[in-house]
Amino acid sequence: SAVISQKPSRDICQRGTSLTIQCQVDSQVTMMFWYRQQPGQSLTLIATANQGSEATYESGFVIDKFPISRPNLTFSTLTVSNMSPEDSSIYLCSVDRGDSYEQYFGPGTRLTVT
């Protein structure tokens, strides 16, 4: 498995502001993923982040709202821009071990937008 940390673990933000979430992995991984879990809901993939290339966004998610950086093989950031209360969710990053199709998740960032 991989050890994944996220910062911050939680935050309360005002609408209209932006928050950048960091994801750090203890080993080099090719693919990192960002998921959103709205209150009481399941997980939805926001985007896939490969090092050295632009992130690939899923339907319903756009780069202007959720810009992602992937500067190296152990780190990624997700920014939630111009936040509204509807962005209140848990944001989780995950990594893929490659050939095993096993994804491991970070502890999540619990975001509340007021």
Partner 1 sequence: AQKVTQAQTEISVVEKEDVTLDCVYETRDTTYYLFWYKQPPSGELVFLIRRNSFDEQNEISGRYSWNFQKSTSSFNFTITASQVVDSAVYFCALTQTGANNLFFGTGTRLTVIP
Residues making contact with partner 1 (CB under 8 A): 1, 31, 33, 41-45, 48, 58, 90, 92, 94, 96, 100-108, 110
Kindly tell me which of 28 and 41 has the beta carbon lying closer to partner 1. 41
Burial class (CB in 10 A: 0-12, 13-18, 19+), 109: buried
Q: How far is the CB of 94 from partner 1 (least distance, A)?
A: 8
Q: How far is the CB of 81 from partner 1 (least distance, A)?
A: 22
Q: How far is the CB of 16 from partner 1 (least distance, A)?
A: 26
| Residue 60, φ and ψ in degrees, nearest 5 | 95, -5
Kindly tell me which of 15 and 43 has the beta carbon lying closer to partner 1. 43
CA-to-CA distance for 85 and 111, rounded, in angstroms? 10
CA-to-CA distance for 72 and 79, rounded, in angstroms? 17
Kindly tell me which of 2 and 113 has the beta carbon lying closer to partner 1. 2
Q: How far is the CB of 38 from partner 1 (least distance, A)?
A: 11
**C-alpha distance across the termini of the chain, in Å:** 36
